[in-house]
Amino acid sequence: MFKIKYGIRLRVTLALAIFCIIIVGALAISLYFASDDIEETHIEQIMKAEMNHVIHHYLQHTRFTPQVGSSLKSYVIRNTEEESQLPDYLQNLDRGSHKIFRHDQEIRVLVQYAGGVKFVVAYKIGLHEQRQREFRLLVVLSLVAVVAIAFLIGYLLAGLLVKQVTDLAERVKRLLPINDSTGLVSNNIHCVSLSQPGQDEEVAQLARTLEDYQYRIVRMLQREQEFTSNISHELRTPITTILTSCELLLAEQNLSPKAYARIRNIEAVSNRMSEQVQALLFLAREQALGTMEPVAIAECVYDAVEPFCEEIYQKNLELDVTVKPGVVLTLNRQALHTALVNILRNAVQYTEQGFIRISFDNNRLSIADSGIGIEPAFMPFLYERFFRGSEKTQGLGIGLVIVKRICDYYDWRIEVDSTPGSGATFHIVFP
Q: What is the pLDDT of residue 280?
A: 65
Domain ranges for the chain, please list them.
8-154, 289-429
Q: What is the pLDDT of residue 192?
A: 63
Tens of pLDDT, residue by residue over 355-366, are: 999 999 888 999
- Neighbour-count burial of 150, counting CB atoms closer than 10 A to its CB (0-12 exposed, 13-18 middle, 19+ buried): buried
Tens of pLDDT, residue by residue over 308-325, are: 888 888 888 888 998 888
Q: What is the pLDDT of residue 88?
A: 84
Q: What is the pLDDT of residue 368?
A: 92
Class level of CATH domain 289-429: alpha beta
Tens of pLDDT, residue by residue over 265-320, are: 888 778 777 766 766 666 565 555 567 889 899 998 998 888 888 888 888 888 89
Round to whole Å and give the CA distance between 320 and 298: 12
3-state secondary structure the chain: CCCCCCCHHHHHHHHHHHHHHHHHHHHHHHHHHHHHHHHHHHHHHHHHHHHHHHHHHHHHCCCCCCCCCCCEEEEEECCHHHHHCCCHHHCCCCCEEEEEEECCEEEEEEEEEECCEEEEEEEECHHHHHHHHHHHHHHHHHHHHHHHHHHHHHHHHHHHHHHHHHHHHHHHCCCCCCCCCCCEEECCEEECCCCCCCCCHHHHHHHHHHHHHHHHHHHHHHHHHHHHHHHHHHHHHHHHHHHHHHHHHHCCCCCCHHHHHHHHHHHHHHHHHHHHHHHHHHHHHCCCCCCEEEEEHHHHHHHHHHHHHHHHHHCCCEEEEECCCCCEEEEEHHHHHHHHHHHHHHHHHCCCCCEEEEEEECCEEEEEECCCCCCHHHHHHCCCCCCCCCCCCCCCCCHHHHHHHHHHHCCCEEEEEECCCCCEEEEEECC
pTM attached to this predicted model? 0.47
Q: What is the pLDDT of residue 386?
A: 59
Average pLDDT, the chain: 79
pLDDT by 10s per residue, the chain, length 431:
444 556 677 777 788 778 888 888 888 888 878 878 888 888 888 889 988 988 888 888 877 777 767 788 888 888 888 888 888 888 888 888 898 888 778 888 999 998 788 899 988 888 888 888 888 888 888 888 888 888 888 878 777 777 777 777 777 776 654 444 344 444 445 566 676 676 777 777 777 787 777 778 777 777 776 776 676 667 777 888 888 888 888 888 788 888 888 888 888 778 777 766 766 666 565 555 567 889 899 998 998 888 888 888 888 888 899 888 888 898 888 888 888 988 998 888 888 889 999 999 888 999 999 888 888 888 777 777 655 555 555 555 677 888 888 888 888 999 998 888 888 999 999 98
Q: Which residues contact 191 (CB under 8 A, 6 or more apart)?
A: 175, 177, 178, 183, 184, 185, 211, 214, 215, 218
Q: What is the pLDDT of residue 6?
A: 60
